[in-house]
Amino acid sequence: MSIDLSQFHQVFFEESFEGLDSMEGGLLDLNPDDFDVETINTIFRAAHSIKGGAGTFGFQVVADFTHVVETLLDEIRAGSRALEAPHVDVLLRSVDCLRDIMQALQDGDEPDMSTADTLKAEFVAILSGASECTPESAVSPDSNLDESDGASDETPSGHWEIYFKPDADVLRTGNEPVRMFRELESLGRLTTEVVVCDVPAFSSLEPETCYFAWNLTLEGGSREEVDEVFEWVIDESELSIRWVHGGLTESAKNTTQSPPATTTDNNQQPVESGSTSVDDSAPTKEMLSEPEADLPEPEQELESKPVEAVVSSAASVAGDKKTESPKKPQKSSSPESTSIRVGIDKIDSLINMVGELVITQSMLGQLGSDFDMGKLVRLQEGLAQLEQNTRELQESVMRIRMLPISFTFSRFPRLVRDLSKAMDKKIDLVLLGENTELDKTVMEKIGDPMVHLIRNSLDHGIEKPADRLAAGKPETGTITLNAFHQGGNIVIQIIDDGKGLDRDRILMKAIENGLVSKDDNLTDEQIYELIFHAGFSTAETISDISGRGVGMDVVRRNIQELNGSVEVQSMPGEGSTFTIRLPLTLAILDGQLVRVGEEVFILPLVSIVESLQVDLGMINNVGGNNEVLRLRNEYVPIVKLHELLDVEPENYELEKGLLVVVEGDNSKVGLFVDDLLAQQQVVIKSLEQNYQKVDGISGATILGDGKVALIVDISGVLRIASKVKGKPVSADHQAA
Amino acid sequence: MSEQALSNQSGVSSKEEMENALGSHDVATDQFLTFIMANEEYGVDILSVQEIRGWEAATTIPNSPDFVKGVMNLRGTIVPIIDLRLRFGLEHVEYGPMTVVIVLKVNTPTGDKIIGIVVDAVSDVYSLTNEEMRLPPDMGDQVNTAFIKGLADVQGKMVILLNIDELLDLQEIPDAEVLRNIVRD
């Protein structure tokens, strides 16, 4: 009996948080008009196991609160109450509230019950305001005393009579009859009568043995529900359950006496009141209304009894739940579980190790290729082995760090739902590319900027339903979140089909703020770009959602901190697209080594479209010195890597080198290099760690010979190229 | 590569000396590794010195200032190499067998960074008390002396003690002439 339950608390919290997540997910899927019973069942099951766990581990506040939640869910599940939109709302808020409470408990703090109490009152209102009066609907702060007076008269014309004699070991096996009765009570009004004839003489009393049997009368519930309650003890107890028609109210009244005691202690009351019955039906209800105020009465009575010691010790298990629940959680503030979060430092060093391994492998590979002795075969076998190991280690390490972006996306349906409700807008959220994998650190940091952007789209982008209809658009707006990999980058797009950015207003505001002058001849892209300036908002009214003008510049700054970029495209009346590009800051990259003069650079293999030797006939000069390659049906601008990167090349003539056509930011460009070397996997090392960001270079790596080679940042190169040439390489993207 | 790195034995023994010094008479001393550049002796706080290695070619970084010689691989870490002569605007000399790279840990607003500086030759290790250090002379408003921690007189020779945290800030290039003036002063 003295098992320290606190060791399981962490598991309970984790499970409960998961349960809450699944409740939330389920609730968001619920459409009041047309819902799947299975969804309700899922939500109910989650709530039920949280309640069960909370009760077992002594978090009575959680158990009590969940019980009300569960009651409503149960009625909906059973079909006795129609699901209405407000229900979903209250339930969602309960999920939040429970999460807060459990977070507080986990941290060892006193949970703030004010929200819970408010919500409880709401539940009570919902439950009692029902037309169908299921027994639970009597749950209200003052119903506990009234119930024996026939408050719930419209009970079914029959009741269950249950004889339950648990095995003497029932307490040792962790099955607590009181909890089972409470469970039964949630099915209907319960009257209990204790049979104490087996209680031995005081001297031979075993505190951990159960000597009681119970006669229970239950009004309500189905056979399956009743069976479910006893499911765990059915094999270890004498149990008979039978349905009795009519005549219920009387017997219930007869057996009911004395004000209902409040705690689980009261299953011990029979000791005191001999073989008379006692009403055990109220505790849960009273606890629901007044979770904190309890206990005094039974204890007083116990005091005067000779069996006091026995009672209190036997009751201690149950009593703990109430009396110690506020203190217990503090004991439980065990170190945070390491099962989900992994220390970034450890992972970083692991990745470094993998890096070394990859380097060693390529070093050995070079050695091996020059090695022509008899041992060559064995050496190569070893190398193959090494390579395989390397790869496996590498993959498993990468898997730790890369998580599907759905971890971030999953919080947005709720956000969109709540905000659209608050703003009276109808919005569908579409999630695409949820399985796109993203570095964990990047993921953690991209959440907040995305929240900003989504709020922005909701507030500024999507119009009110009436405006949308007037504009000939469907009433319901759509926000699409899209994630995909592109050229070694992760691209996240937030697309809305709202009214688009108001070019003139932005420009006006910018002139007002002195950001630009009236005479500046700005392109649309340049104007849209202005929204990323600090203190810039065109929202007519400042709402608590957005419009304060602190959003977009923070968004941009956060994203730039991740070495990413954010840009906006917009079509008046058709919507806007925010595109976030994030580099793979920490990864192993498939690279193509290219030589420019003496230097070796690495191009990300993913961005290479093709490599070709130039035939001068394919080259055209556009507007002077801008060479363009005619590649089948396209014209691809040529960028000389040696000019861009300030390197002495071997050849200046295009026909003597090679052109590598790369794609980045939706545009193609031909990079002129001297030679193509090997393809290999390279470990991206940061240049910024000890130096600073270099334009056109995304990082460095160490080659097989120990030399450092720089990794070319394709979109950076495109940017520089467009600046150098004084005109965009690709008109539609570079300007933004 | 490691066999190329010069061992920093003088530093080790001096460290012991310093500990002895600290133990015997409670005078706070700092130890400085000094190196030669254009016949002047410069000193850096020895605690910031990670290692000393022979010069080897670095990978150049495109579009970087000419004093940044490039980056090299220091056991898996990418370390930028800065030519201190070029940094100070002194005339460039061909790297020879005595040319060394001192790998330093510097404190920057963005965290500790590892940087290599190319100098003509490593000289000595001195223990200096605060009293032995003089503040650099006031050179007027136009002259930024933030990168000079102080001047010290060691056996009749002047040693310029560098504040490497300031010195290697890539944004702020000290004026070579100013330094020369200070040096000659």
Those residues whose C-beta lies under 8 Å from the C-beta of residue A696, and which sit 6 or more positions away, are: A644, A645, A712, A713, A716, A717, A719, A720, B62, B63
pLDDT at res. A538: 52
Q: Which residues contact A7 (CB under 8 A, 6 or more apart)?
A: A334
Which of B162, B37, B39 has its CA nearest to residue B104? Answer: B162
Instruction: Nearest chain B residue to A599 by CA: give it.
Output: B59
Distance (Å) from the alpha carbon of A113 to chain B's nearest alpha carbon? 43
B62, B73, B170 ranked by CB distance to A696: nearest: B62
- What pLDDT shows up at residue A63? 83
**Beta-strand pair A697-702/A675-683:** unpaired
Residue bearing the bigger pLDDT, A550 or A571: A571
The answer to whether B73 contacts A707, with C-beta atoms less than 8 Å apart, is yes
Contact A685 B115 (CB under 8 A): no
Q: Which CATH superfamily is domain B27-184 in?
A: CheA-289, Domain 4 (2.40.50.180)
Across the interface, whether the CB atoms of A647 and B60 are under 8 A apart is answered yes
* Domain range A588-725, its CATH number among 3.30.9.10, 2.40.50.180, 3.30.565.10, 3.40.50.300: 2.40.50.180
A644, B62: Cβ pair inside 8 Å? yes
Residue A271 has pLDDT above 80, yes or no: no
DSSP conformational letter for A549: S
Residues A37-85 have pLDDT tens digits of: 778 888 888 888 888 888 777 788 888 888 888 888 888 877 777 777 7
* Chain A residue numbers touching B115 (CB-CB < 8 A): 690-691
Lowest-confidence segment of A107-121, A151-165, A412-426, B66-80 by average pLDDT: A151-165
Q: Which of B70, B78, B113 sits opposite A685 (nearest CB)?
A: B78
State the pLDDT confidence band at B143, using cuts at 50, 70 and 90: low
CB contact under 8 A, A697 and B76: no
Q: How far apart are CA A479 and CA A466, in angstroms?
A: 18
Q: Is the pLDDT of residue A367 over 50?
A: yes
More confident residue, A299 or B97: B97
How far is Cα B184 from Cα B177, in angstroms, rounded to an integer? 10
Q: Which CATH number fits domain A5-127: 3.40.1280.10, 3.30.360.10, 2.40.50.140, 1.20.120.160?
A: 1.20.120.160
Instruction: Give the pLDDT of residue B167.
Output: 63
What residues in A contact B1, CB-CB < 8 Å?
706
Residue A416: strand, helix, or coil: helix
pLDDT at A379 over 80: no
- What is the least distance, in Å, from the CA of B183 to any CA of chain A? 28
| pLDDT of amino acid A397 | 66
Nearest-by-Cβ selection for A356 from B61, B71, B76: B76
Backbone angles phi, psi at B114, to 5 degrees: -100, 130
CA atoms within 13 A on the CB side of A471: 20
Chain B closest CA to A690's CA: distance in Å?
Answer: 5
Distance of CA A21 to the CA centre of its chain: 7
B117–chain A nearest CA distance, Å = 13
pLDDT higher than 90, residue A593: yes
Q: Which residues of A touch B64 (CB under 8 A)?
A: 694
Instruction: Enumerate the residues of chain A whose CB falls inside 8 A of the CB of residue B73.
Output: 702, 706-708
Count the Cβ atoms, other than its own, within 10 Å of residue B96: 9
User: What's this model's pTM, rounded to 2 decimal places?
Assistant: 0.44
Q: Does A691 touch chain B (CB under 8 A)?
A: yes
**pLDDT tens by residue, A618-668:** 888 877 677 888 888 788 888 888 888 888 888 888 878 888 998 866 678
CA distance A640 to B42: 42
How far, in Å, CA of B87 to CA of A343, rounded? 40
Q: What is the mean pLDDT of residues A124-135?
A: 59
**Of A454, A670, A684, A434, nearest to A583 (Cα)?**
A684
Per-residue model confidence (pLDDT) at position A343: 54
Token output for A576:
């806007």
Strand blocks (E) in A176-235: 189-195, 213-219
Tell whether the model's pLDDT for residue A609 goes beyond 60: yes
Residues 6+ apart with CB under 8 A from A51: A62, A63, A66, A67, A70
The more confidently predicted of residues A329 and B176 is B176
Neighboring chain A residues of B71 at a CB cutoff of 8 Å: 687, 691, 700, 708, 710
Task: Give pLDDT, residue A534.
Answer: 64
The percentage of residues in chain A with a pLDDT greater than 90, rounded to a whole number, is: 2
Q: What is the pLDDT of residue B179?
A: 53
Residue A118 confidence (pLDDT) above 70: yes
Query: CA–CA separation, B60 vs B81, rounded Å?
Result: 9
A448: β partners: none
Residue of A nearest to B70 (CA): A708
Q: At what angle do helices A308-323 and A296-303 cross, to 10 degrees?
A: 160
pLDDT, tens only, A21-39: 888 888 887 777 777 777 8
Look at B62 and A645 and tell me if their CB atoms are within 8 Å.
yes
Q: Are A288 and A64 in contact (CB under 8 A)?
A: yes
Q: What is the rounded average pLDDT of the residues B117-127?
A: 89
pLDDT of residue B15: 47
Q: Does A647 touch chain B (CB under 8 A)?
A: yes
Least confident piece of the model among A435-439, A545-549, A617-621, B90-94: A545-549
- Which of B1, B61, B76 is closest, CB to CB, to A355? B76
Cβ distance of B59 and A710 shorter than 8 Å: yes
| Helical H segments across A457-534, by residue range | 465-470, 503-512, 524-529
How many residues in total does chain B contain? 185
Which of B61, B77, B113 has the CB atom closest to A694's CB atom? B61
Q: Give dist(CA A63, CA A49) in Å, integer.
A: 10
| Contact between A685 and A701 (Cβ < 8 Å) | yes
**Which residues in B have their CB inside 8 Å of a CB on A?**
1, 58-64, 68, 70-73, 76-80, 113-115, 170
Residue with structure tokens 């796109």?
Answer: A436
CA distance A154 to A157: 9
CATH topology of domain A404-583: Heat Shock Protein 90 (3.30.565)
Instruction: Give the pLDDT of residue A269.
Output: 40
